[in-house]
A and B are shown apart, each in its own frame.
Chain A
Amino acid sequence: MTSVAAPIEHGGHADAHAQSFVRRYIFSTDHKIIGIQFLLLSLVGLLVGGSLAMLIRWQLGFPTQAMPGGGILPETMAPGGVLLPEFYNALVTMHGTFMVFFAIMPLLVGVFGNFLIPLKIGAADMAFPRLNMASFWIAVPAFALMVVGFFVEGGHAGAGWTSYAPLSANPEWSGVSLGQQIWCVSLVVLGLSSILGATNYITTIINMRAPGMFWFRLPLSIWSLFITAVLTLLAIPILSGAAIMLLFDQTIGTTFFLPPDGGQPLLWQHIFWFFGHPEVYILILPAMGVVSDIIANGSRKPIFGYHSMVYAIIAIGFLGWIVWGHHMFQSGMNPTLGMSFMISTLLIAVPSAIKTFNWLGTMWEGSIRLHVPMLHACAFVSMFVIGGLSGVFMASTTVDIYIHDTYFIVAHIHYVLFGGSLFAIFGAVTFWYPKMFGRMMSRFWGYVHFGLTFLFYNLTFFPMHQLGLGGHMRRIYDPTEYEFLQPLQGTNEFITISAFLLFAVQLIFALNFIVSWFTGEKAPENPWQDTGLEWTTPSPPPHGNWPETPTVHHPPYEFSSPLVEEDYLMQDRAAGKETP
């Protein structure tokens, strides 16, 4: 096997100068540019999802009251600023849909998959750069279509982001036809983008690792992106198939999920969740991966138990396929199936717990640097533990009878997706911003944003556990209609105010992001003194990343290594002795 450093073949940087602005920045095949394109698109998605949440919280905190400024919404949505129940249904559906598909997933998989994979494995670009470009440009119309759905006759899809049949399949019952069809089509189009992306990531990681980058020298961010890509490749097509069947039920008279002619509503749930559960691991694994990188960096220590971390990621990837029924304990499915799902769900807590203990073990007796990414990573660990613990309650079929479809579930979702994924995203964006844009984000405002976000986030979502245990159901328009919920209304108001403040605080992040792009401190090659290969390139790296393929001599987290004086040993450094 050759390990000679040979010149990178793809697109020598001399060509780049000759390319037009459009070819360099709009229709770029450079993975770094595509990663940034996904970043901008998904931050818009995050804004949309967050704004929808504000409308939801208004209605729950101050039911059927006119929203300040609500007059700008059309009559079909909120006459006189009072949200209509149909519009509320669309809001909860679209908040989930945008956050899952157009915010968190592209932020983790589209942004960090694209940006980090070639850089961290020592490749010049992805295996299929033009396919990569196609992936992004297919996602854009999917996004646009989903937005358009708000403005069609009948309003947007309102059957929840999980779109259960038969409500979603029969326009007569939901009052929504075009909106639901748009939901289906948009997701099928987005699915194609994801599948092509996954194909690219998997091929690249398998075949294009630099000499010396053995599988067990890959950083955990790459391991988790690899397993995530496998999950994406195999789960998303299931959603595509399901969405197509649903679309046909809606439009050409098929009866897959419509009972009168033999259709099976339960089939929708099974197929959707067979996709849906691997999907949530797609939403958390890359977050776990970047958190590992950041915690090792912030502790100046190698990751504790690197091999077990890898096996845990693989185990989560495997087990994630056989737990889907835990979303369906209340559906009336076969009770024996229910029992097997309970067992597999309880089992899947184990690899996550192993990872948590390993993060703690990494930090134990480390020389801790509490930089902004490290704070976000620590928040990830603690908030994810809370979300994971509530998951254990839900895993039990008997407990779930009581808490299914209540705000206890909503609390869980948001602890793992916001407390988990989103904090990891904030940390990762801050960590790799210098490499992406050549500038540092403001540290001061980073700390302010973190502190206020952490505070208001917990004030918003922790009380939801209580609401759920008190019986507060999900997706209801006016809690005050129910006598038994009226005592909880104070909590709803408190959550709403906290949520408004939480949303407002994100302006700090947005401004930090935008302003730093132009006036941030110029970033050196390795501002965090990290060991990964990406930190051996300029900030930002040129087209092709390296003039010559690097050769890797060390594992990924050689902090405080006895081999060198500095407290970090970069993976490609030939420091005399090769480490396994």
Chain B
Amino acid sequence: MSHAATSAVMLPPARAESGAGVYNEKLGMWIFLGSEVMFFTALIGSYLILRVARPEFWAEPGEILNVPITAANTFLLICSSVTMVKAYASIQDGDQAKLKLYLLATALIGATFVGVQIYEYSELIHHGFLPSGYAEGGELAERAQAGTLPAAVGLYGSTFFTMTGFHGFHVTVGVVCLLYVTWRAFRGRYSAQDHRGVEVIGLYWHFVDLVWIILFTIVYLI
């Protein structure tokens, strides 16, 4: 039995046929996440296909991308998922104070994640790694000429920036929505009986974390 439904508001519409057994907003978010899975499939799938087709256009893990910083960033995002689910658990128990605290923490950590990503992008561009591959005359291009890096990394750059860029975009949208939910929490809009908004943004946030778990592994570590 779903332990999320605690009141008439969080049940499926009572007058209707039984349907999915969950309230509309939650069902709607899961369905929307289905479309997001397919969107990332297009990008990640293309990456996998291109990597199998033309592996010579990729460098080894850590040669161009900064694994330690990204690993830390990954841990950060996982922490934000924990604070998110703690926020949800708090309001299930009716704890308004903890709800606000954990929501703020989630938003803050999420924003930090994006900040670190932006820093990472600027470092890469500075060293001469672009969506189109090596920047002419850049530091990495020179290492490639010296033979310590692959001759061309156009596909590496294209796939890396597109996948992580759109993930970052989704995180940013998530942070904005989180701030909205946090604002509502501060206005006392959520209760133990009705906290649909918290659960729904939580689902989105965990999904974004899940995508990153996959991305970190297959983009940075392989």
Tell me which residues across on chain B come within 8 A of A196, comparing CB atoms.
32
Q: Report which of A1, A203, A214, A253 forms a contact with B132, defined as CB distance below 8 A.
A: A253
B121 touches A (CB below 8 Å): no
A360 touches B (CB below 8 Å): no
B187 to chain A, nearest CB (A): 19
Given contacts A262-B50, A263-B154, 10 further A-B contacts (CB under 8 A): A3-B15, A198-B31, A203-B24, A203-B31, A208-B19, A245-B46, A256-B46, A264-B53, A267-B53, A271-B42
Tell me which residues across on chain A come within 8 A of B53, comparing CB atoms.
262, 264, 267
In the complex the two chains form, is A128's CB within 8 Å of B28's CB? yes
Q: How far is the CA of A267 from the CA of B18 in the complex (A)?
A: 43
Q: How far is the CA of A524 from the CA of B45 in the complex (A)?
A: 54
Contact with A along B18-42 (1 / 0, CB 8 A): 1110011001100110111011111
Contact with B along A519-559 (1 / 0, CB 8 A): 00000000000000000000000000000010000000000
B149 touches A (CB below 8 Å): no
Cβ-closest chain B residue relative to A1: B18
Q: Report which of A208, A212, A233, A241 forms a contact with B46, defined as CB distance below 8 A.
A: A241
In the complex the two chains form, is B32's CB within 8 Å of A199's CB? yes
B121 to chain A, nearest CB (A): 13
Q: Report which of B14, B35, B39, B158 forms a contact with A199, defined as CB distance below 8 A.
A: B35
In the complex the two chains form, is A233's CB within 8 Å of B152's CB? no
Tell me which residues across on chain A come within 8 A of B159, comparing CB atoms.
256
Q: How far is the CA of A208 from the CA of B42 in the complex (A)?
A: 32
Measured CB to CB, the residues of B under 8 A from A are 12-20, 23-24, 27-28, 31-32, 34-36, 38-43, 45-46, 49-50, 53-54, 56-57, 130-133, 152, 154-155, 157-159, 161-162, 166
In the complex the two chains form, is A248's CB within 8 Å of B49's CB? no
In the complex the two chains form, is B131's CB within 8 Å of A262's CB? no
Contact with B along A179-209 (1 / 0, CB 8 A): 0000000000000000110111011001111
In the complex the two chains form, is B152's CB within 8 Å of A244's CB? no
Q: How far is the CA of A61 from the CA of B161 in the complex (A)?
A: 48
Tell me which residues across on chain A come within 8 A of B16, comparing CB atoms.
123, 207-211
A37 touches B (CB below 8 Å): no
Contact with B along A1-43 (1 / 0, CB 8 A): 1111110000000000000000000000000000000000000
In the complex the two chains form, is A262's CB within 8 Å of B152's CB? yes
Q: How far is the CA of A200 from the CA of B154 in the complex (A)?
A: 40
Tell me which residues across on chain A come within 8 A of B43, comparing CB atoms.
241, 244-245
Given contacts A127-B28, A241-B43, A255-B133, contact A234 B19 (CB under 8 A): no
In the complex the two chains form, is A261's CB within 8 Å of B24's CB? no
A242 touches B (CB below 8 Å): yes
A212 to chain B, nearest CB (A): 8
A254 touches B (CB below 8 Å): yes
Q: How far is the CA of A202 from the CA of B27 in the complex (A)?
A: 9
In the complex the two chains form, is B31's CB within 8 Å of A202's CB? yes
Which residues of chain A from 474 to 526 have any CB-CB distance to chain B below 8 Å in the complex? none
A238 touches B (CB below 8 Å): yes
A60 touches B (CB below 8 Å): no
Which residues of chain A from 256 to 283 have any CB-CB distance to chain B below 8 Å in the complex? 256, 261-264, 267, 271
A93 touches B (CB below 8 Å): no
